[in-house]
Structure 1
Amino acid sequence: MTSHTDAARNEANPWRVFIAGGCYSGLSAAIHLLDRCDSVPEKPVHVAITIVDERDGFYHVIGSPLALADKKYAEKAWVEYKDVKILQRPDVQIVHGSVTKVDPTSKTATIRESSNNSERTESYDFFIGATGLRRVWPVVPQALSRKTYLTEVNRHIDAVTSSADPVLVVGGGAVGIEMAAELKTVQPNVKVTLAHSRAKLLSSEPLPDMVKDCALDLVRESGVDLLMEHRLVKSTPIKNAAGQDAYEVEFENGHKMLASVVVMAISKSVPSTDFLPKEALNEEGLVNILPSLQLSSKEIPNAERHFAVGDLINWSGIKRCGGAMHEGKYAGLNIHQMMMHEMEGKDIKFNEIDEIPPMIGLAVGKKAVSYGPEGMNSGKQVMHSFFEEDLGFRICWDHLRLGGNPA
């Protein structure tokens, strides 16, 4: 039934949409919702969107391996929100801060603002959780402002390029492979070693052996030295023969080596969902959802007005940027349908996500390997199709239209 309050939505009484997280899925949700709300110029749907993010800008997370190897690229990979053209409109508010609590009963979110560390509460009609996974250094930079981020990555790049000793990357998952290969490709004079505790790379991913074997071949082609079945026991800070800071590294099999820097790429990422009620989460902290991306728990009041998208959802498939943007799009479109139903009584036919089979696109130096339902491909053309020359920055930027007209 259409309520008087909802029917009277106008510029002075807009629909309030709160989005926690301003990366791929959160921005996709906002942009697709705005598109629909603007689609009939003579009869726009009035919204007020608040996007809260811990960072002060859009950071291209999947470009981290390159950002941590190339200072010029690092400048490009983080764009302050004030410079994201499509968001510069009066019905979009961007808050640099964190969401500390969401109360579905009252439909309010508590924000801690970074500028003064103060807290305030904001009401909403619809909520979208898009805060993703909390990844540790050096998987992603930990800085929350572009200025401190550049200091952080430049210091790291200086460290990995200033010594004759090898850089040791520990962990042969997707992150470790890309970090090792990008560093070797961008800094060919640096000796790079990748150590993995298992007999196959990508050992924790539900992928066929042919993909794992191809990844290993591409890593070797990139010039990275591989230590398979090498489990790290300890790394001890020392001075090398030149008096530089270094690490004496020991593995479980007794092998020892000297490394200039030890890059740990094996830590488990944790869902950033502490602000949500426990009833919304599974045992790992991921958000349980319906195929419509609404919260699935019947214990949560107003669950149908709360959505979750991106890496924090409990859903099948390997976490991917493309999937996150697709989920954000569907959440935005579904919220628009709910608005139209409550204002005009229009029928709702939700966009629903399907089960996602194992898929991956892995950049390994100048080549890439891809795998999905259509099979496996690898080579330079795969690298260009999936990542181009900037680990997918241009592809994602243009797909989200972040540099486009805000109206």
Structure 2
Amino acid sequence: MATTYKVLVAGCSYAGLSASVHLLDQCDTMSSPISVEITIVDERDGFYHLIGSPLALADSKFAEKAWVEFKDIKALQRPNVTFVQGSVNNVDCFNKTATILERETQKTRTETYDYFVTATGLRRPWPVVPQAATRKEYLEQANKHIDSVYSNTAPVLVVGGGAVGIEMAAELKHVKPDLRVILAHSRSQLMSAEPIPDSARECVLDAVVRGGVEVLLNHRLKSQTPVTTPAGAPAQQVEFENGHTMLASEVIFAVSKSIPSTTFLPVDALSEDGYVNILPSLQFQPFPSGGETAPTTSITRRHFAVGDVINWSGIKRCGAAMHTGKFAGLNMYHLMLEDVTGKAPELFELDPIPPMIAIAVGGEAVAYGPEGMSHGPQIMRSYFEEDLGFRICWDHMRLGEVKA
């Protein structure tokens, strides 16, 4: 083909990987091949299995597996795919250019593109997400955390009874059964912020307690003070607003407000909370052009957003992220094919996503969705297997397959 389409993907977690892999699969078809060059920009040097964080920060062996450097993802080792470790600082949707800050050189460069994919996800603090940029730094950070948690006889306190806090507490207890783990939540029910029924919340609580984790409801942390135990070990004296006090070897915060990583985009493309306003096709919604009233439909149709950054219904999950990435990859291909053949594309459109979630609680799991609720060890095996879903996600995106 005379035309080679340049695609710039910002972010390389579940959604960015899925978009890239599905676009390449379509462009490689023998019946309607498309020449494409993909540049993937990410702050890390590899793919981190985010939903495996609770296990990665409890088990050093799994921590090794949870981060895969981009050079080891076989599906993307091809001459028309380039990885850049850095961040996108600015996107000019009208001129289709992006400013990239490279991590190694700390220099900026301008990249032109034909299609742009925003897959930068949400900003989450440590220890919900490792803050390291390289696999080496991440392993040092994870192992230090694991050593500090397991080297003291005082109980470990996990603050926050949302999905992350529950899974962190459960995995610590599951990996080291003799460790005393306490989960504190400020509300009267676990997962109080999620749009799920009380029956599902109660089922999760029962599973957490069965797993050996002690649960303190209606306990809002007031203060923590560094102290030394009689044995000479460092610890934290913790006080809650209800007056309850305790000694903890470590206080692990699983309470945070996730912030969309979208400051590099035009403000007109974003919701008040910073999420990208999209059409069901995952394309940007049209927005005013430089103060003009005419919507920039012809411009925004070349810009896609996928994964956790989209302003869409449903609980943020890796399954939804991979699904949106797939649709974006397929739709970009069909738009490219339209340029070549003149045939109007039939774009895949995202349906409203109802509340659904699966929580790993040690040796069992609780799942809730439109079809109802299910729980038990068999649900753990079905949804997460033995590695909190790593193999399932890896194989679903076919990341280990060598492409032609």
TM-score by length of 1: 0.96
- Is 1:246 matched with 2:198? no
Q: Which residue of 2 aligns with 1:339?
A: 336
State the 1:40 CA deviation.
1.3
Say which is worse superposed, 89-98 or 234-243, in terms of deviation: 234-243
1:148-187 aligned at under 5 Å gives the runs 148-187=137-176
Secondary structure in 2 matching 1:262: strand
Secondary structure in 2 matching 1:207: coil
Q: Which residue of 2 aligns with 1:363?
A: 360
Q: Where in structure 1 are there 5+ consecutive unaligned residues?
A: 1-8
State the 1:190 CA deviation.
1.4
- Is 1:46 matched with 2:35? yes
- After superposition, what is the alpha-carbon deviation per residue over 1:92-149, rounded to whole angstroms, capped at 9, x for unaligned? 0011111111110110111111111111010000000000001100001110100000
- After superposition, what is the alpha-carbon deviation per residue over 1:334-362, rounded to whole angstroms, capped at 9, x for unaligned? 11111011111012111000001110010
- Is 1:373 matched with 2:370? yes
State the 1:298 CA deviation.
2.5
Q: Which residue of 2 aligns with 1:293?
A: 282
- Is 1:233 matched with 2:246? no
- After superposition, what is the alpha-carbon deviation per residue over 1:28-81, rounded to whole angstroms, capped at 9, x for unaligned? 00110111100116x521000000001100110000000000000000000000
Q: Could you tell me which amino acid in structure 2 is paired with residue 296 of structure 1?
A: Q
Q: 2:15 aligns with which of 25, 28, 34?
A: 25
Q: Could you tell me which amino acid in structure 1 is paired with residue 399 of structure 2?
A: L
State the 1:366 CA deviation.
0.3
Q: Could you tell me which amino acid in structure 2 is paired with residue 381 of structure 1?
A: Q
Q: Could you tell me which amino acid in structure 1 is paired with residue 344 of structure 2?
A: D
Q: Could you tell me which amino acid in structure 1 is paired with residue 79 of structure 2?
A: P
Q: Which residue of 2 aligns with 1:405?
A: 402
Secondary structure in 1 matching 2:380: helix
State the 1:384 CA deviation.
0.5
Secondary structure in 1 matching 2:315: coil
Q: Could you tell me which amino acid in structure 2 is paired with residue 100 of structure 1?
A: N
- After superposition, what is the alpha-carbon deviation per residue over 1:200-227, rounded to whole angstroms, capped at 9, x for unaligned? 0000000001110000000001111110
In structure 2, what is the Cα distance between the partners aligned to 1:212 and 1:39? 46
In structure 2, what is the Cα distance between the partners aligned to 1:285 and 1:40? 40
Q: Could you tell me which amino acid in structure 2 is paired with residue 323 of structure 1?
A: A
Q: Which residue of 2 aligns with 1:275?
A: 264
In structure 2, what is the Cα distance between the partners aligned to 1:314 and 1:55? 25
Secondary structure in 2 matching 1:246: strand
Q: Which residue of 2 aligns with 1:320?
A: 317
In structure 1, what is the Cα distance between the partners aligned to 2:49 and 2:141? 16
Q: Which residue of 1 aligns with 2:292?
A: none
- After superposition, what is the alpha-carbon deviation per residue over 1:322-343, rounded to whole angstroms, capped at 9, x for unaligned? 1000000000111111101111
In structure 2, what is the Cα distance between the partners aligned to 1:325 and 1:171? 27
State the 1:245 CA deviation.
1.1
Q: Which residue of 1 aligns with 2:183?
A: 194
CA RMSD, 1 decimal: 0.9
Q: Where in structure 2 are there 5+ consecutive unaligned residues?
A: 290-295
Secondary structure in 1 matching 2:301: helix
In structure 1, what is the Cα distance between the partners aligned to 2:60 and 2:254? 20
Q: Could you tell me which amino acid in structure 2 is paired with residue 322 of structure 1?
A: G
CA contact (8 A) 2:159 2:255 kept: yes
State the 1:299 CA deviation.
1.7
In structure 1, what is the Cα distance between the partners aligned to 2:129 and 2:250? 16
CA contact (8 A) 2:41 2:85 kept: yes
Q: Which runs of 4+ in 1 moved over 6 A?
A: none
- After superposition, what is the alpha-carbon deviation per residue over 1:284-318, rounded to whole angstroms, capped at 9, x for unaligned? 11111000001113225411110000001110000
Q: 1:35 aligns with which of 22, 25, 34?
A: 25
